[in-house]
Structure 1
Amino acid sequence: MKVQFPVIGLLSGMLLFSCTSSENKANSTDTLATADTTAIPTATMATSPGSADQKTVDLVKLKLTTMFKDELSKNLIDSAGRKFKLFEYDLNEDGKKEIFVGLTGSNFCGSGGCTMLLLNPEGEMISRFTVVNYPIQISNTATKGWKDLVLNSNGKDHLMKFDGKTYPANPSVQAVYEATAPKELVKGLGTADPYLNW
């Protein structure tokens, strides 16, 4: 009996320390998450691909499956081509985010860059870009009420302006972008952003 009480006391102490330690870790993680979130600029946080809800992800998957149904039925798109990156940003300041979809794989990418889609919040096509290298940038200037885009193609940044209905399809033939302000631009579809399967 005398030996059992110290062992039980020792085990109880370890259990209590473990619970307290786990609780402290959970609290410190919550604090860390809050601190990290508040440290991110609002525009970047709001447009992070990770901030896209499941509804948007499902909408994009449906759009891609519908758009490329013929190629899929003939097994012309390999598994690498069945991935995409997602980035949302309110380009026309109407309170709704447009959706950038960065495609990958040999079906959609070549030496000059990859195909990228720009969809409205309901999933309808606004623009289809060719030869785009990721990441993309949102300019601090606007044309016809829509933010200008800075897209890299063939190693150079090009300024893409909205024409009232769409953006030009091929960035490589647009004017080379000359930075007009030292302010860093909002970026999306970066290398750290995960690819999703469709």
Structure 2
Amino acid sequence: MKNKILILVGILALYSCQDKKESKNIVKTIVQDTLSKTIGGTADLSDAPPRDDNAVELIRKQLNVLLKKDLRALTKGDRYFYYEEFDLNNDKKNEYFVGFSNSYFCGSGGCSGYILNNDGSVINKFTVTDFPILVTTSSTEKFYDLIFESGGKFHLLKMKGGKYPSNPSVQEVVKGNVPKESTKVLDIQGKKMEKNSF
């Protein structure tokens, strides 16, 4: 939202500095178009600054610890991750979904990844999943329930004892359609997500 406001302020400042009538009309049209797209949620913010560098650095440090034994086997091309923030327990602090999409972390059953707390500590490591992960509107132990796709089926994961199950493929299969109000996270194939090295 801050990015949208900054874009609008910049455009309005440009509009107010114009002297010529023709320029005013062009800038006015741009301002009106951008304003309507921003309000409608269709503004293209692809040039917006990258996400929180502190989060990337926190995840990077944690992965270097968690994958310490794997580092020698990883090629430079294997050493990248994707992440997305989501407040899973409504404590006003985002947790981090961390995923990979290369042959070291992915196999025929899917890929592995992590869910990290806001401080970088591990909530979960997960395996054999396909992205995206879905966050539902139902919750267990104050954390939203998750739906992971594994083996072509959707599986429901509920928090139990402070952890989600690590292997989605052995969890309850979702019967019927996936709830439409679920939020996609780590939509690595569907979104243009930024690669981050570690």
TM-score, scaled to structure 2: 0.74
CA distance in 2, matches of 1:115, 1:184: 25
The answer as to whether partners of 1:115 and 1:131 remain within 8 angstroms in 2 is yes
> Any unmatched runs of 5+ in structure 1?
1-15, 42-49
Which residue of structure 2 aligns with residue 4 of structure 1? none
Residue deviations 1:129-163 (CA, integer Å, cap 9, x gap): 00010011001111111100000111111000000
1:65 maps onto 2:68 in alignment: no
- Give the Å deviation of 1:82: 1.1
Residue 24 of structure 1, aligned match among 14, 27, 39 = 27
Distance 2:41 2:174 in 1: 26
1:81 corresponds to which residue? 78
Q: Distance in 2 between matches of 1:195 and 1:148?
A: 26
Mind listing any 5+ residue stretches in structure 2 that lack a counterpart? Answer: 1-18, 43-48
Query: What is the CA deviation profile of residues 8-59 of structure 1, one whole-angstrom value per residue up to 9, with x for unaligned ones?
Result: xxxxxxxx99x949x839x827953x55454449xxxxxxxx8741110111
1:94–1:135 Cα change, 3 Å: same
SS in 1 for 2:69: helix
Q: Relative to 1, partners in 2 of residues 1:61 and 1:182: Cα closer, same or farther, differing over 3 Å?
A: closer
Letter of the structure 2 residue corresponding to residue 64 of structure 1 = L
- Kept in 2, the 8 Å contact 1:80–1:106? The answer is no
2:185 is the alignment partner of 1:188: yes
Confirm or deny that 1:53 pairs with 2:84: no
- Cα offsets for 1:105-146 (capped at 9, x unmatched): 222110011011000000000000000100110011111111
Q: Are residues 181 and 160 of structure 1, via their aligned partners in 2, closer, same or farther at CA, if it must alter by over 3 Å?
A: closer
**Does the 8 Å CA contact 2:137/2:181 hold for their aligned counterparts?**
no
Segment of structure 1 superposing worse, 172-181 or 84-93: 172-181
1:158 corresponds, among 138, 155, 172, to 155
Distance 1:133 1:156 in 2: 10
- The one-letter code of the counterpart of 1:28 is I
Q: Distance in 2 between matches of 1:29 and 1:61?
A: 39
- Counterparts of 2:178 and 2:74, CA distance in 1: 41
